Amino acid sequence: MYNTLSSSLTFVEIRRKIFTDISTIGELWLDGKFYCHTLEDAVRPLGVKIPGKTAIYTGDYILQITKSNRFGILMPELINVPYFTGIRIHAGNADKNTDGCILVGRYDEKTPNFISDSRAAFEPLNTMLKHLYGMGTVICSIRQIGNVKDEREYTNRPTY
């Protein structure tokens, strides 16, 4: 899929697109190519943090591969996230599966605040990110694209 990447600097971009009071749905792009959908906690105003229910702030973060105490495996972690620790990209389906982390999977507008096929998205992504991290720096950029009023415009489909 992305095995032709040879750059020592890789960009993972999270494009937040759909915002509810419960969760935030977005897209994960890897070096300019759509990979899968994301689910995070709700975006809140700057300075407002409800533990376990608030998405991290937009910005650029170094992504490292570290061992998760919770999951017991090597997996992506965003470093130096203001007001948060242990922010990871991992499998999960709904806001109850994240405490600020980024979940990956497939979004269907028929089931708001939920993503499916999370393990099918995460396992190859984790393998790719481990490989890319071994080759150089990985930057994760969190961007807020805007509030999509008409979810029918949300047409990107996962490539895993």
Task: Tell me if 159 is assigned to some domain.
Answer: no
**pLDDT tens-digit map of 54-70:** 999 999 999 999 999 99
Lowest-pLDDT range of 2-11, 24-33, 37-46: 2-11
Q: Which domain holds residue 59?
A: 9-148
**pLDDT tens-digit map of 115-147:** 999 999 999 999 999 999 999 999 999 999 866
Task: Tell me if 43 is assigned to some domain.
Answer: yes
Burial (CB count <10 Å: 0-12, 13-18, 19+), residue 127:
exposed
Task: Tell me if 42 is assigned to some domain.
Answer: yes
Task: Tell me if 154 is assigned to some domain.
Answer: no
Task: Tell me if 158 is assigned to some domain.
Answer: no
Task: Tell me if 2 is assigned to some domain.
Answer: no
Mean pLDDT for the chain? 88
Nearest to 159 by CA among 61, 75, 67, 35: 35
Number of folded domains that form the chain: 1
Instruction: Give dist(CA 13, CA 23) in Å, integer.
Output: 18
- pTM of structure: 0.87
